[in-house]
Amino acid sequence: MDYLKAFVIGGIICVIGQILMDTTKLTPAHILVIFVTSGVILTAVGIYEPLIKYAEAGASVPLPGFGYALCKGATEGVKKNGLIGAFTGGLEATAGGVAGAIIFGYIMSVVSNPKTKD
Amino acid sequence: MGLKRVGNQTVKLENPPSIISTASIVGPKEGQGPLKEYFDMILEDDLWGTESWEKCESKLQEEAVRMALTNAALSESDINYLFSGDLLNQIISSSYCARQLSIPYFGLYGACSTMAESLSLGAMTVDGGFAEKVACVTSSHFSSAERQFRYPLEFGNQRSFSAQWTVTGAGAAILSSSGEGPFITYVTTGKVIDPGIKDVNNMGAAMAPAAVDTISNHFKDTGYNPDDYDLIITGDLGSVGKAITSDLMKEQGYDISEVFNDSGVKIFYHEEQDTHSGGSGCGCSAVVFAGYVYKELLKGSLNKVLLISTGALHSSVSTQQGESIPGIAHAVTISNSIE
Amino acid sequence: MDRLNKKEYEKYAEKKIPKPTYFKNIFWAFIVGGLICTIGQLIRNWLFSRGLNEKQVAAGTSIMLVFMGSFLTGIGVYDRLGKVAGAGSTVPITGFANSIVSPAMEHKREGYVFGVAAKMFTIAGPVLVYGVGSSILVGIIYLLFGGGR
């Protein structure tokens, strides 16, 4: 059951992105920025957390889930460390993914070369 | 004085230079397209033994020039000027190509209009008696252009339907004051026309009004009609730009649809090769001219061709700053006979 | 060509463009996006079964999906996936990894400092700037409204 929920909710979030791509002139970079920022805002107003509870990976794997982790990290940081927590909490919560992307990205670019499209 | 001028934008060459040889080299994808029989050389991969796509692109130019020289049994020292250009920043492909050839060099930038631009300037130089023989060459490379103007190759994005596919290839031509033809008889130089298009995925629409302006001025200046030509071929308008050009030409009172085609449309099988609106890049009109058009002229199945290379004069900086895309189009008449 | 009305021309040019294949695009975005999330769920459940806590599981899932995205980019598969799936492969965190790895690979020939390292964040950088920036803002607002103790 949790797989089905993840599939459907994750799919729907991606479809929203696809509709934005096809009907507006927004570039993929703009869409990524919009999705992360809306994840932060939706979490702040309390909409995204129930979705995470309901669909788990279906809501946390798409980029708004990254925004959710940032926002959740920042508010929890505030609870623990006050003002300093607002600055450290978000990155702390998402450090794994970001650090992973840096190191895997580096390794990949060392070991492989880009191939042309066909 | 301007003794050789006719009309506002056109030059009638009194001693029309002869195109004594051409050469075209294309990448693997172009080598699977409908024009593959016409190209002199098809690469097996798009690096051609070099370390980078940029290096490959200047090798394309250099080898195209050398091949054209060999075809005409000439050597570098027989050539008075090299007119060349490409799409990369500071036209590095052309300059690095010129570094390898010891020929006095004029570097040109006209975006994708560079082939007709180099032929125009080369022809006028020869006609004016400033040179015996000149070489004109332009190139583009899908991978080097893609990274400069768009996204990294491995980035997983979808291309829009109006987007075009930069042609990997270089085309070269040797013009000479003496020869059997085909001859360059008229040169119509385009004005920059900006129709206000901002979408970099729709270059065809950005360039079409410039093409229309140049073609209709060419007719006005020379007194020719579309019927006088066997083929009117634009550089890289793609299917979107081609349709717009056909429409707008009708509004100007010229029905060119019978003889009109576009290099970008001709070079790929768009459905199977997934190139959307068509080919683009300076290499597009260069290889279609040096391969298809030139060889058909030699065969005699075409006798008079109007070649219009079209360029979009924007940069990635101007696009990000929200500027619209100015278009330009240069035309040359290539004919088997001098009237 | 002098009396070209730019507004009208833009509208006219728009009309000449073939429309995207909306249905097909949406279908594939849904399927691929859904599948990537399902794989994420699989990883989550597996990590939970190994006895990790919520925080560790969240970080572990991200890291493994990022690795998957990077690996598929490195072997030249992710751009092909993206051509079919569009947002279905851009929006999940694997797409975030793709946006980091692809420019890094592309610019290797310009060296490891100004090429790989500097270009790594050309697309993902803005995501971090706006994501982290807005989360700090939310944190401060939360503090001002008495969210801290």
Residue B1 has pLDDT above 70, yes or no: no
Q: Where are the alpha helices (DSSP H) in B51-91?
A: 53-71
C53 DSSP 8-state letter: -
Across the interface, do B155 and C99 touch by the CB < 8 Å criterion?
yes
| Cβ contacts of B18 within 8 Å, gap of 6 or more | B175, B176, B177, B178, B179, B180, B181, B182, B183
Average pLDDT over residues A73-86: 94
Residue C15 has pLDDT above 90, yes or no: no
For chain A, the domains span 2-111
Rounded Cα distance, B171 and B85, in Å: 11
Q: Give me the residues paired with residue B134 across strands.
A: B81, B175
Rounded Cα distance, C115 and B309, in Å: 34
Structural fold of domain B5-176: Peroxisomal Thiolase; Chain A, domain 1 (3.40.47)
What is the DSSP secondary-structure string of B298-312?
Answer: HHTS--EEEEEEEEE
Residue B43 has pLDDT above 60, yes or no: yes
Give residue C39's domain range: 23-121
Of A62-71, A105-114, B62-71, where does mean pLDDT reach its minimum?
Answer: A105-114
- In this prediction, residue B149 carries a pLDDT of 86
Q: Where are the alpha helices (DSSP H) in chain C?
A: 6-16, 22-49, 54-74, 78-85, 87-90, 93-106, 118-119, 124-144
**Closest CA relative to residue B29, chosen from B175, B142, B132, B138:** B142
What number of C-beta contacts closer than 8 Å exist between A and B?
21
- In this prediction, residue B90 carries a pLDDT of 93
pLDDT interval class at C148 (50, 70, 90): low
Instruction: Answer yes or no: is C11 within a domain.
Output: no
pLDDT interval class at C48 (50, 70, 90): very high
- In this prediction, residue A115 carries a pLDDT of 83
pTM of the model: 0.93
Interface residues of chain B, partner chain A, Cβ below 8 Å = 28-29, 46, 53, 142-143, 146, 151-155, 157-158, 199
- In this prediction, residue C3 carries a pLDDT of 59
- In this prediction, residue B65 carries a pLDDT of 97
Number of domains in chain C: 1
Average pLDDT over residues C52-56: 93
pLDDT interval class at C2 (50, 70, 90): low
- In this prediction, residue B30 carries a pLDDT of 95
Cα C53 to the center of its chain, rounded Å: 26
Say if B5-176 and B183-335 have the same CATH topology: yes
Residue C1 has pLDDT above 70, yes or no: no
Closest alpha carbon within chain C to A18: C87
pLDDT tens-digit series, residues B286-298: 999 999 999 999 9
Instruction: Answer yes or no: is C47 within a domain.
Output: yes
For chain B, the domains span 5-176, 183-335
Instruction: Answer yes or no: is C44 within a domain.
Output: yes
pLDDT tens-digit series, residues B305-321: 999 999 999 998 999 89
So what's the ipTM on this one? Answer: 0.94
Which residues in chain B have Cβ-Cβ distances shorter than 8 Å to A25? 199
Residue A1 has pLDDT above 90, yes or no: no
Of A21, A28, A117, the CB nearest to B153: A117
pLDDT tens-digit series, residues B15-37: 999 999 999 999 999 999 999 99
- B183-335 maps to CATH 1.20.120.80: no
Instruction: Answer yes or no: is C60 within a domain.
Output: yes
- For chain C, say whether A67 makes contact (Cβ under 8 Å): yes
- In this prediction, residue A116 carries a pLDDT of 81
Across the interface, do C1 and B212 touch by the CB < 8 Å criterion?
yes
pLDDT tens-digit series, residues C95-123: 999 999 999 999 999 999 999 999 999 99
Which residues in chain B have Cβ-Cβ distances shorter than 8 Å to C118? none
pLDDT tens-digit series, residues B76-102: 999 999 999 999 999 999 999 999 999
Residue B122 has pLDDT above 80, yes or no: yes
